[in-house]
Structure 1
Amino acid sequence: MKEKLLYLMLILFVSASVFAQTGGGSVAFTIKGQVVDSLSNESVPYATLRIALASAPQNPVKLLACDDDGKFTATMNKPGKYVMTMESLGKVPAKKTFTLSESKKVVNFGKLFMHDDTQQLKEVTVTAQKPLVKVEVDKLTYSLEDDPEAKTSNALEMFRKVPMVTVDGEDKIQLKGSSNYKIYMNGKPSNLLSGDNASDVLKSMPASSIKNIEVITDPGSKYDAEGVGGIINIITTKNALQGYTGTIRANASTLGSFGGGGYVSMKAGKFGITANYGYNYRNSPWNDTYSMRDEEEAKYQQGDETFTRPSSLLNEHGRSKNKGPFQYGYLEGSYEIDTLNLLSVGVNLFRGKSTNLSELIADKVNRTDLTNGEPTTMYSYKRYSDSKGTFGSTDVNVDFQHSTSKKDELLTLSYRFSQSPNDNEGHSRLEDLEGVYSQAYRYPNWNINDASTTEHTAQVDYTTPLFKDQTLEAGVKYINRQSKSNTLEQVKDSLNAWQDISQRNSDFRHTQHIYSAYLGYMVKFNKFGAKAGVRAEGTSLNAGFAKAPEENFKTNYFDVVPNATLTYQLDMSSQLRLGYNMRIQRPGIWYLNPYLNNIDPQRISQGNPNLDSEKSNNVNFNFSKFAQKFSINASLSYTFVNNAIERYTIIANFPESDPLSQYNGASYSTYGNMGKRQQVGLFLYGSWNPVPLFRIYMNGGLDYTNIDSKKALGLTKDGVAGRIFAGTQFNLPKDFRINLHGGYFSPWIQLQGKQSPFYFAGLNISKDFLKKKLSVSLGAQNPFWKTMKMESTTTGEGFVDRSTTWRHAREFRLSISYRFGTMKGQIKKVRRGISNDDSKGGGEGNSGGGEQGM
């Protein structure tokens, strides 16, 4: 306890001394440098420095502390010979002698190394907490390795604590209140973390396998021009020193899921390997649903005849569930050819199976033609459906990095192969059918969809320092992307024979050739920092339909996309940042896929192969202050999109010649470039450590959205939406940790829809055993309510569709992990690599045409 009090007094004394000694007087001499660890080469934050005359080392003339990156700058008033002593908990004190003179007024030490004090590490308990958030010119970083909760939490739980990132009650991830983002792993896009896979994989991924989470809200010119407005980059742990280290883990939940996995990192000489594997099986309980569609009387045309659609009411009562396993893994290996050349290979794999079951009772009544004053039944039935899917992804990255004798000059050659298969098979049948209903669906239905995307990418990047504090970056890139979707749909006729009723656009191919080049420049001058760049990108697009070649089309694009970021360092811990970027976003395969999801013939959906790319302009203003006890990050942003891709719903009214006319009267959903979308958002993150063992944190945002689709649908929508996540973290004696958290999401703004708010709360208790090698965690999510009622309303011309779902909310979890091994040297990774962020669909959470479900 005395050591802790002495350490606290030393920090306070250092802070007071720095303030006192920099408050006035003329500046004659300057010293600067960075304190780093001798083995890992990583910074030693908040190291204390004591400077004294060499002739009187016992009498310090200046005391100061490094910043969170181990850097320091100090001014001295007199020339002479000095000795500087560096100290940090867990390190052996180090000394550096230097001389200041009229001919040598500035001394730049560069990197100053400190060694671990193995004896002190055994005896001293460190209770001070480092700031978890760091802001740089173009990104914000949240340190999981410095957050004690990460030891026993999964990655998705930790996402809730990252500034500007939110996770709602359905585990859908948003960045700055939007689903328009990409998740990378170690600077590269990964299909492992794309689409609906992301939440499932992150829930099964231990947070302890992640070092940092980076939020890049102002992507620079090195990122694809036709990219997204924000990137979440997961940096996995790389503390693999000579030898090996690893973790094995297991978890189980009362909502029918269980899993396990392992992580290992090893290094021998110039070879280094890091691997992670996870397996998870989910068997969710049945969720009940109720929906009602209210249709007004309307007239519609078929051929030369005019028909009147009666006023009607459709009621549906049902339930659904899903089950199935999935597994993932990634392997990264590196070989240090020599001190200037590094070869790195990475493989990400994801494989899964799913079974979706649904049961539905439906009845539709005519409220125009009454019988004895009562509505007339148009039809009623019971429907039983099941669908099975296999999905996955494979990513292979190869990077060669060449360094030169010039510091920070790098040439990187990269290749990436990516493939994402997604196959579905569905069956449905009707029972107790009464009334007039679609003839095609009076009998059992069977459909198969085979879809996939394959990419080949080659890239060259070059970075070099120009002058003092200036950097130039340039590169070229080529992407070949092949997407396909092939659907077979059959139905049994009255003779019990299968008949093919596949659509003419059921065999779809989509090819993109993308060529790009970029140039970027970054400079630091005193307290200012600036980064600017430009990217030129050309695209050749071809779409083909094997059964309907007359619908084939192709087009070419060429775009020049600028970006700029300006920062100003208010003081050692505070920064202002202003950024602008233009992004162009192509729709992914599930937005383009024309496959018709008709497992519920009253609610059909498909993609739109004629979609154009979105082009958005983004402006961000950010203020951040991060200190040991208090941290805040506030961001104000504005986004404008001129041809926004939106999902919309209408009542089907197709011409009689169109095969889709058999669904007339049903709810039909698809995607379109529906008009303009504007959003102004305010996002706030705060953290407070009143005492070393206690932390309070908050992460939230508020935004105003305006969607204008007057020309396309005659609709406009605007409103304010907000979200907040907050919690407390206790680090108690005997290696106990307690975390309490909760969140609230107001309904987000949609063109046609509105949903009820989300809310959730949780508790997590964990303890370490066996000298912190074994960790056990007990968690409770929503312990005070068994189910959560979720309502949604979709409004369109002539109809209102309301649905209610009761989701199981109460969940208890048990997680166990065990760490083993020892290491002594760090694995090197290339500092550049391929990042394909151009395809819309990575973070949407909504599948397009081929989505299987109730």
Structure 2
Amino acid sequence: MKAIIIAILLACLVAPIYAQTVPVKGTIKGVIIDSAKNTPLGYATIALVDAETKKPVKSGLSKDNGSFELDGLPLKPYLLNVISVGYQTKTIPADGLKIDKANIDLGKIVLGSSTSQLNEVKVTASKPLVKQEIDRVSYDVQADPDSKAQTAMDMLKKVPLVSVDGDDNIQLQGSGSYKIFINGKPSQMLANNPKDILKSMPATNILKIEVITTPPAKYDAEGLAGIINIITSKTADDGYNGSITARYNFPWGPNLNLTGTMKQGKFGISGYIGGGGRPWVTTNSANERQTYAPVSDFLQYGSNSTKGKFVYSSVELSYEIDTLNLLTGSIEYDKGRFDQNQDRLTRFTSEDPNALPQSYRLLNNGGFGWDETDLSLNYQLGFKRDKKQLLTASYQYTYFSNENHSDISTVDRVNYNSPDNNQQNNAGTRQHTLQLDYVHPLKQLTIEAGAKGIFRKNFSNSDVENLTNVNGQDIFVEDPTLSNDFNYHQNVYSLYNSYTYKAGSWTLKGGARMEHTHVDANFITDGSSLNRDYTNVIPSISVMRNFSKNQSLTFGFTNRLERPGIWQLNPFVDRSNPQIVNTGNPNLHAVLSHLFELTYNKSGIGNISAKLSYMYTNNSIVSVTKLISDTLSETTYDNVGKYKTARLNINGSYPLTKKLNANFNAALFYVWIKGTYNGEFYSNEGPRTTSNVSATYKPGNDWTIGANYGYNSHLIWLQGGSNHYMYSSLSLSKVLLNKKLTITGVVNNPTQKHYTYTQFTSTPDFYQANTQYQIYRTFAVSLNYKFGKLSSDIKKNQRSINNDDVSKQ
């Protein structure tokens, strides 16, 4: 009993002492309001500093509803700084924290718009590279120091959900079916020739790269895995500004690029123009094929040399008739031409006693090129009731052609009798598009509706000439059995309706799109034709729930279409390598996929996002290869793949110190694919992974050091796959002349001079592989100079044509 009384007395003595030693913490909260719209302002930066020392204490972001809360604060006077791009920075005293008043509610804090940068507060922080939204994730290219000297293809390797293999083939969420846009509009240039274009486009032209995984109903339904949107357009102000970038990559050659914006009164113009050249660059490659019945070996090894030049340009114009009427237009022109020389030594042996061993040198002097013109015109009508209520009418004309030719000869022949030949093919697209869009905003609901018509003509003209002896003279004579002319008309008519609803911490986006497709194909050479009609209804839904501490959870579901493109339909048989031929399939059908995804995101000082997704397709268009004879294989496309993939993607960034920032992007997914082709059933499955890690270090205001490493595991196809792929880079940037001049140097893959990348096909009858011996260690240096001065924004249409309805290459 005595012990209990003593314990109670000690507790009574210790309790007040403990109460005095545990400090009381305070909380400051409020709501940020846009003064012009009188609506909550989300994602404004809230920076709290000590009122006496002026040292930073705590920071955060306002939520979608404008609210913020900073807790765990010592009881002392503070200054609260509210910063948001395009608004005047506001500083508010917060000196009322006391023991008897540990919580302060500052109420509504109203921010007014600003056209200039104020200097009340200087906030130093690393700009996040990745941002998660309800239906997309975006990568801020301008925040990446490597962008000053790298290409668009280099940037894509770092974007979440995107992977690039050793042969520069792009995949989105593990799929090769997607769409690539430039500024929200499709580009036939990128659809038909993404490798060369993206390797030519400097990253300095790009503001950000968006990956739209659950596209709203306003987008065409094409692209099984989603849309990659490359944003290059910039706003212009009264006055002008611009930049000029000169870049040289060893060994790939020079590039010169000019961007500019100008605005005077109601008229504005912005755009870019650039070009470059590639000196002769030589790489080696090898083809091999082994057959099992009879046992034979085909081996081909040699060199491929290319050189060329290219030019690209884009101009956007805007004329603001009055506050409610806006007229905009754009012109895009791209052209490129490359020459190539191939020299391949070929050997064939067989255990069949009736098959003679063969050998020869295959010489191919040819080239390829592209030409694109894109014209668009948009009229936008606003309404006095609400600035967001819009009616837009749009027209677009697109022309794209892709030409290649080969002059093929063989020397040092042993038991090889095929004639020398010339072959050429010119394939492309002409299309007209009409579109009408209407946006009707209500208090918490936004309604969108529209109609669209695409009138597309795909064409292919090909000729093959064989070297023939006529009257004792060797001349080239056209072979009508190998020549082909092909027209493929495709008209797409669509209607859509979508709704966006916001209520507190919830955002819902849903809608549906109906598309009717009419196909009319004409095989001019043999006189046959093809007619086909089909209708698809495509639903899409995204639901986002915001939580405290800048957290959100998003669910998305959509169906997507893949219509075959001209390069998949084209019946032209490419015999530039006469024992490994390639051709298209004009009988391909459209493909429908189903995609589910769940995304968790947390933002603040650091950012992290985790996405879990599942996609399946029943009749995928896949590349397939069959053996025609022991000396000949044919690769084409067919609707034979049943494809499923489950994927987990995690990406984020974190400032390790004030000067050092780290970013990571990793994906682990499992692939199942099966199908029957040429009488054989194939099944292939397995895990895959892609990852990228980068770090940026800023030792001072004028220097930036960057490091990057990525790893992609092997590809999994219906009949085969590839080996893994790694890449790395180091960069160094220096800013001069009052931040107008930036000098950047980059070394890619500093530890590896060459890289061997193999893609293979394995069937019960044969094994075939192509191996590329690539130049891997490269150096790039660039100079970027900015000039001009601006003061007010250019006005642009909020709706325009997006022809994302056909498959990419």
**766 and 266 in structure 1: CA distance in 2 versus 1, 3 angstrom threshold:** same
Deviation at 1:284, TM superposition (A): 5.2
Cα deviation, 1:127-184, whole Å, max 9, x if unaligned, reads 3223333322222233334445544544333333322223344433322222222121
Bigger mean CA deviation after superposition, 581-590 or 710-719: 710-719
CA distance in 1, matches of 2:35, 2:248: 43
Q: How many residues align?
A: 756
Equivalent residues in 2 for 1:512-551, closer than 5 Å: 512-549=490-527, 551=528
**Structure 2 equivalent of residue 645 of structure 1:** 621
**110 and 159 in structure 1: CA distance in 2 versus 1, 3 angstrom threshold:** farther
**Structure 2 equivalent of residue 73 of structure 1:** 67
**Structure 1 equivalent of residue 656 of structure 2:** 690
**In 2, are the aligned partners of 1:264 and 1:275 still within 8 Å (CA)?**
yes
> Is 2:775 the partner of 1:798?
no
Q: Which amino acid counterpart does residue 306 of structure 2 have in structure 1? A: N
**In 2, are the aligned partners of 1:322 and 1:357 still within 8 Å (CA)?**
yes
> Is 2:19 the partner of 1:20?
no
Q: Which amino acid counterpart does residue 20 of structure 1 have in structure 2? A: T
**Structure 1 equivalent of residue 305 of structure 2:** 321
Q: Select the residue among 554, 569, 588 that pairs with 1:577.
A: 554
Q: Which amino acid counterpart does residue 159 of structure 2 have in structure 1? A: V
Deviation at 1:109, TM superposition (A): 7.6
**Structure 1 equivalent of residue 806 of structure 2:** 839
Equivalent residues in 2 for 1:113-512, closer than 5 Å: 113-114=113-114, 116=116, 120=119, 126-196=123-193, 198-283=194-279, 285-297=281-293, 310-369=294-353, 377-407=356-386, 408-435=388-415, 437=416, 439=417, 441=418, 443-466=419-442, 468-495=443-470, 496-503=474-481, 506-512=484-490
Deviation at 1:665, TM superposition (A): 3.9
**In 2, are the aligned partners of 1:285 and 1:808 still within 8 Å (CA)?**
no
**Structure 2 equivalent of residue 783 of structure 1:** 750
**360 and 503 in structure 1: CA distance in 2 versus 1, 3 angstrom threshold:** same
Deviation at 1:86, TM superposition (A): 5.7
**603 and 151 in structure 1: CA distance in 2 versus 1, 3 angstrom threshold:** closer
**68 and 274 in structure 1: CA distance in 2 versus 1, 3 angstrom threshold:** farther
Q: Which amino acid counterpart does residue 808 of structure 1 have in structure 2? A: I
CA distance in 2, matches of 1:333, 1:470: 31
Gap runs ≥5 in structure 1: 1-15, 23-29, 51-56, 77-83, 98-104, 298-309, 371-375, 654-663, 845-854
CA distance in 2, matches of 1:20, 1:358: 72
**In 1, are the aligned partners of 2:218 and 2:513 still within 8 Å (CA)?**
yes
**In 2, are the aligned partners of 1:641 and 1:676 still within 8 Å (CA)?**
yes
CA distance in 1, matches of 2:597, 2:110: 33
**In 1, are the aligned partners of 2:45 and 2:84 still within 8 Å (CA)?**
no
Deviation at 1:350, TM superposition (A): 0.9
**192 and 244 in structure 1: CA distance in 2 versus 1, 3 angstrom threshold:** farther
CA distance in 1, matches of 2:254, 2:91: 53
**In 2, are the aligned partners of 1:18 and 1:64 still within 8 Å (CA)?**
no
Q: Which amino acid counterpart does residue 526 of structure 1 have in structure 2? A: G
CA distance in 2, matches of 1:354, 1:269: 43
Bigger mean CA deviation after superposition, 503-512 or 767-776: 503-512
**In 2, are the aligned partners of 1:639 and 1:678 still within 8 Å (CA)?**
yes
Q: Which amino acid counterpart does residue 73 of structure 1 have in structure 2? A: S
CA distance in 1, matches of 2:306, 2:106: 67
**821 and 709 in structure 1: CA distance in 2 versus 1, 3 angstrom threshold:** same
**Structure 2 equivalent of residue 45 of structure 1:** 44
Cα deviation, 1:455-490, whole Å, max 9, x if unaligned, reads 100000101113x22111000000000001011111
CA distance in 1, matches of 2:210, 2:382: 25
**In 1, are the aligned partners of 2:178 and 2:222 still within 8 Å (CA)?**
no
Q: Which amino acid counterpart does residue 592 of structure 1 have in structure 2? A: L
CA distance in 1, matches of 2:123, 2:280: 42
Q: Select the residue among 818, 823, 828 that pairs with 2:785.
A: 818
Q: Which amino acid counterpart does residue 484 of structure 1 have in structure 2? A: F
**In 2, are the aligned partners of 1:66 and 1:72 still within 8 Å (CA)?**
no
Deviation at 1:378, TM superposition (A): 2.7
Bigger mean CA deviation after superposition, 234-243 or 329-338: 234-243
**Structure 2 equivalent of residue 100 of structure 1:** none
Deviation at 1:737, TM superposition (A): 0.8
CA distance in 1, matches of 2:201, 2:298: 42
Deviation at 1:751, TM superposition (A): 1.1
Q: Which amino acid counterpart does residue 72 of structure 1 have in structure 2? A: G
**Structure 2 equivalent of residue 735 of structure 1:** 702
> Is 2:33 the partner of 1:33?
yes
Q: Which amino acid counterpart does residue 481 of structure 2 have in structure 1? A: Q
Query: Helix, strand or coil for the counterpart of 1:698?
Result: strand
Q: Select the residue among 623, 634, 640 that pairs with 2:610.
A: 634
CA distance in 2, matches of 1:604, 1:215: 35
Gap runs ≥5 in structure 2: 1-22, 71-78, 94-104
**In 1, are the aligned partners of 2:452 and 2:493 still within 8 Å (CA)?**
yes
**In 2, are the aligned partners of 1:149 and 1:737 still within 8 Å (CA)?**
no
**728 and 94 in structure 1: CA distance in 2 versus 1, 3 angstrom threshold:** closer
CA distance in 2, matches of 1:43, 1:20: 20
Deviation at 1:35, TM superposition (A): 7.5
**Structure 2 equivalent of residue 850 of structure 1:** none
Q: Which amino acid counterpart does residue 538 of structure 1 have in structure 2? A: H
Q: Which amino acid counterpart does residue 46 of structure 1 have in structure 2? A: T
Equivalent residues in 2 for 1:1-20, closer than 5 Å: 20=27
Query: Helix, strand or coil for the counterpart of 1:840?
Result: coil
**Structure 1 equivalent of residue 713 of structure 2:** 746
Cα deviation, 1:308-363, whole Å, max 9, x if unaligned, reads xx432112121112211111010001011111111111111110001121111112
CA distance in 1, matches of 2:152, 2:476: 47
Deviation at 1:117, TM superposition (A): 5.2
CA distance in 2, matches of 1:334, 1:558: 36
**155 and 111 in structure 1: CA distance in 2 versus 1, 3 angstrom threshold:** farther
**74 and 678 in structure 1: CA distance in 2 versus 1, 3 angstrom threshold:** closer
Query: Helix, strand or coil for the counterpart of 1:20?
Result: strand
The TM-score with structure 2 as length reference comes to 0.87
Q: Which amino acid counterpart does residue 529 of structure 1 have in structure 2? A: T
Deviation at 1:828, TM superposition (A): 1.4
**In 1, are the aligned partners of 2:695 and 2:708 still within 8 Å (CA)?**
yes
Q: Which amino acid counterpart does residue 426 of structure 2 have in structure 1? A: D
Q: Which amino acid counterpart does residue 173 of structure 2 have in structure 1? A: K
Cα deviation, 1:514-564, whole Å, max 9, x if unaligned, reads 111001011112211111101111111011111212x31101111111111
Query: Helix, strand or coil for the counterpart of 1:224?
Result: coil
> Is 2:676 the partner of 1:676?
no
**In 2, are the aligned partners of 1:649 and 1:796 still within 8 Å (CA)?**
no
CA distance in 1, matches of 2:24, 2:34: 20
Bigger mean CA deviation after superposition, 563-572 or 638-647: 563-572
RMSD: 3.1
Query: Helix, strand or coil for the counterpart of 2:714?
Result: coil
**Structure 2 equivalent of residue 660 of structure 1:** none
Deviation at 1:433, TM superposition (A): 1.4
CA distance in 1, matches of 2:574, 2:547: 55
Query: Helix, strand or coil for the counterpart of 1:360?
Result: strand
CA distance in 1, matches of 2:770, 2:497: 50
CA distance in 1, matches of 2:600, 2:219: 24
CA distance in 1, matches of 2:409, 2:313: 38
**153 and 546 in structure 1: CA distance in 2 versus 1, 3 angstrom threshold:** closer
Report percent identity of matched pairs: 31
